[in-house]
Amino acid sequence: WYRECLSESTRAQRGREAHMAADMRVEEGLRRALRAGELELYYQPRIDLATEEVRGVECLLRWNHPERGLVMPDQFIPAAERSGLIVPIGYWVIEQACRRLQECQEQGLPAMVFAVNLSFRQFHDRKMTETIFRIIFNSNIDTSLLELELTESAMMHDPDYAQRCLRELNQLGISFALDDFGTGFSSLSNLQHLPISLVKIDKSFVQDLGESADAEHIIRAIISLAHSLRISVVAEGVETEGQLEFLRHQHCDEIQGYYYARPMPWQDLVQFVDQQNQF
Ligand code: C2E
Ligand code: CA
Ligand code: CA
Ligand code: CA
């Protein structure tokens, strides 16, 4: 029995070592990627259900790897979080989003909200607000068009610090969205006490529509709760007309999903917005 335990723990140890070795390779690659400009943002439109116009975009990270091609975030963000590299990468993302936002203003594109994801790990950085301040003051943007998306669990490490960051950034005009709402550790008091102006219904609920009555009830409840607190609602992962019609019926404010558009490079987005907002 003892020997079995020992070999089990050796296997686990080897597993951890393999994991760490893989992390280190990703980490090394990401450091180079940041320097060499291999990271790119894709933009997924958020459509206003009432007017069908593009109201905003979510900025989503992609890695143009010299050998592996386009690498999706689930392939490298977890390692970037474990190593802490997500902190500088996260600032790069905000900087890039501000640059595009400025470009929008200069080219006379319709005003759109740019939403950027924040990792829980970024709340471990004691200079978070200071650094974001600096990025914003170096660009010339309307801060009310910058939105930061976070999950409720992102704030759990040090809720007081996280709350202070949110308040300070909110005073600058930045708004906040709760991502993947309804999954994980939802606490309704967050909606009341934090400067949250939007919730994003997790795509798992949207994709269960039509299959489970529970999904319908949950979505209805989220929308009615949010609206009664004057918080807007975006539904994620909308792929079908049926889902769209249900959400329209429930007065969901905006939808994001493959039904309208996948995340796309900047140039494609500019064209998409041009077409979509003409009608
Ligand atoms: P998320 O924040 O929940 O982002 C939404 C994800 O849903 C995106 O995946 C998007 O492409 C996908 N999606 C949108 N519409 C549909 C749909 O209709 N059907 C389906 N099946 N999927 C849809 P993506 O781009 O692969 O990103 C995955 C996750 O990686 C994001 O989930 C977010 O947690 C993380 N992520 C991406 N970019 C960043 C970033 O810049 N910083 C941080 N910290 N995390 C990021
Ligand atoms: Ca998100
Ligand atoms: Ca989400
Ligand atoms: Ca997610």
| ipTM of predicted complex | 0.97
Nearest Cα to 30, choosing from 65, 2, 68, 67? 65
Nearest Cα to 135, choosing from 102, 108, 158? 102
> Which amino acid would we find at residue 156?
M
Alpha carbon distance 235, 64 (integer Å): 28
Residues whose CB is less than 8 angstroms from the CB of residue 8 and which lie 6 or more positions away in sequence, other chains included: none
Nearest Cα to 119, choosing from 147, 87, 97? 87
**pLDDT single digits (tens) 86-117:** 999 999 999 999 999 999 989 888 899 999 99
Q: Give residues (CB < 6 A) around ligand 1.
A: 44, 60-61, 72-74, 77, 86, 90, 93, 117, 119, 179-180, 203, 236-239, 256-258, 263
DSSP state of 53: -
Residues whose CB is less than 8 angstroms from the CB of residue 32 and which lie 6 or more positions away in sequence, other chains included: 38
Measured in degrees and rounded to the nearest 5, phi and psi for residue 187 equal -130, 120
128-150 average pLDDT score: 95
- Residue 256 contacts residue 45 (beta carbons within 8 Å): yes
Predicted TM-score of the model (pTM) = 0.93
| Mean pLDDT estimate for the chain | 93
Q: Ligand 4 centroid to 159 CA: how many Å?
A: 20
Alpha carbon distance 278, 211 (integer Å): 36
Q: Ligand 4 centroid to 180 CA: how many Å?
A: 6
Ligand with smallest separation from the Cα of 202: 3
pLDDT classification of 185: cutoffs 50, 70, 90: confident
The whole-number pLDDT of residue 1 equals 66
